[in-house]
Amino acid sequence: MKVLVVDDNPVNRLLPITWLRNAGHEAVECCSGYEALERLGGGRYDAMLLDLSMPGLSGTEVCRQLREQPEHADMRIVAYTAYLQPELVSGFQEAGFDAVLIKPVTRKAAFKALGIE
């Protein structure tokens, strides 16, 4: 599986990248919503772990843009955030996210959200 991990904080990218690579998956990291869109324009990914709060272009806006593109319709997009109120979950689903993870996450929770068994 090829997974794009997007977070403006390098520490928050390190753990999921390590888990994925140790499990034999291809994991690519980037630090902004703009960089994520650029990478997705040049290659196919099976899933994305996407931070919501990033400077410039938010994770929610990245998700909305990707869901408008047929070539990314089947990519699993997981919101990755430190701040979440239960009443906001439905808004993330409406934006096109397949799942929501609250930081810090466990390997098991991350893999389940990404569709990795």
Cα 70 from Cα 67, distance rounded (Å): 7
Higher pLDDT, 49 or 87: 49
Q: How confident is the model at residue 3 (pLDDT cuts 50, 70, 90)?
A: very high
**pTM (two decimals):** 0.92
Residue 94 pLDDT: 77
| Domain extent at residue 47 | 2-114
Do β-strands 47-51 and 76-81 pair in parallel, antiparallel, or remain unpaired? parallel
Do β-strands 26-30 and 47-51 pair in parallel, antiparallel, or remain unpaired? unpaired
**12-67 pLDDT, tens digit each:** 999 999 999 999 999 999 999 999 999 998 888 999 999 988 999 999 999 999 99
CATH number assigned to the domain comprising residue 34: 3.40.50.2300
Closest listed residue to residue 85, CA positions, set 100, 96, 63: 100
Cα 29 from Cα 20, distance rounded (Å): 11
Share of residues in the chain with pLDDT > 90 (%): 68
Say how many domains are in the chain. Answer: 1
